Amino acid sequence: MGETSGRGVPGEGLAKGLAVTLRTMTRRSTTQQYPDVAPELPPRSRGVIALLAENCTVCMLCARECPDWCIYIDSHKEEVAVPGAARPRQRNVLDRFDIDFSLCMYCGICVEVCPFDALYWSPEFEYAEYDIKDLLHDKDHLGEWMATVPPPPAHDRNGEPAKEEATAARKAAAPAGSAARPTPARVRPEPGPAARPAPEPPADGTPTDPGAVP
């Protein structure tokens, strides 16, 4: 007696459900006419990963950091003759860059860790296939999606400047600041009087007066 259960008042849930239904019935329905009308995607949508093969140096960082191991890269080395160099240099040439989108979980780690801006997010998402084997896209197909990559957003004027901009501005202002501010001349200190050595105690053990003049 006197104890209440956690189920609430009978009929309370039904009243809340009817209230939601009535509110929804009074609103105007919005239907997206897809695929006839393209949807408006958010600016940071993750559709597919595009590749700019010219920037890839085959550092293998994206393939090593991929948690699903869905990036496959092959390359070979070529010798490049450098004028004035004692011997030709070697560079990596990209032969294969495939991404298996049947394994990709769209985490974006490969795009973030690429140090040479070779991978980009594209909002393109219409690449469904009837066969799962066709979701393995090569570098040519990934390169075609570069045309759909949106331009980077403008920098916020009220935000902090980029690290590269701050470093360049500091280097540009360093010569002007150092020329306008005179360098103080170094003054060599004058040598002080040489300290006299303490008198040695006599051999017979007689105490000596430190204030006595020899």
- Residue 148 CA to residue 200 CA, distance in Å, equals 92
- pLDDT value at 8 more than 90: no
Instruction: Determine if residue 70 is labeled as part of a ligand binding site.
Output: no
- Residue 93 CA to residue 75 CA, distance in Å, equals 5
Tell me the residue type at 149.
Answer: V
Bigger pLDDT: 56 vs 198: 56
The alpha carbon of residue 53 and the mean position of all alpha carbons in its chain are separated, in whole angstroms, by: 20
- C-beta of residue 60 within 8 angstroms of C-beta of residue 33: no
- Residue 124 CA to residue 38 CA, distance in Å, equals 11
Long-range contacts from 179-182, C-beta under 8 angstroms, 24+ separation: none
pTM of the model: 0.59
- pLDDT value at 116 more than 70: yes
pLDDT (mean) for 10-32: 82
Q: What share of the chain in percent tops pLDDT 70?
A: 77
Q: What domains can be seen in the chain, in order of their start residue?
A: 48-149 (3.30.70.3270)
Instruction: Determine if residue 110 is labeled as part of a ligand binding site.
Output: yes
- Residue 17 CA to residue 15 CA, distance in Å, equals 5
**Predicted local distance difference test score (pLDDT) of residue 180:** 52
Render pLDDT for 125-182 as a digit per residue (tens, 0 to 9). Answer: 888 899 999 999 999 999 999 999 988 877 777 878 778 888 888 888 886 555 555 5
**Predicted local distance difference test score (pLDDT) of residue 86:** 82
Neighbours of 48 (CB within 10 A): 22
- C-beta of residue 19 within 8 angstroms of C-beta of residue 12: no
Bigger pLDDT: 60 vs 188: 60
- C-beta of residue 49 within 8 angstroms of C-beta of residue 120: yes
The alpha carbon of residue 102 and the mean position of all alpha carbons in its chain are separated, in whole angstroms, by: 25
Render pLDDT for 49-95 as a digit per residue (tens, 0 to 9). Answer: 999 999 999 999 999 999 999 999 999 999 888 888 888 888 899 99
Instruction: Determine if residue 59 is labeled as part of a ligand binding site.
Output: yes
- C-beta of residue 51 within 8 angstroms of C-beta of residue 143: yes
- C-beta of residue 90 within 8 angstroms of C-beta of residue 78: yes
**Cis geometry, peptide bond prior to residue 35 (ω within 30 degrees of 0):** yes
Q: What share of the chain in percent tops pLDDT 90?
A: 39
Query: 22 pLDDT band (50/70/90 cuts)?
Result: confident
- pLDDT value at 108 more than 70: yes
**Predicted local distance difference test score (pLDDT) of residue 44:** 80
Bigger pLDDT: 214 vs 94: 94
- Residue 106 CA to residue 47 CA, distance in Å, equals 8
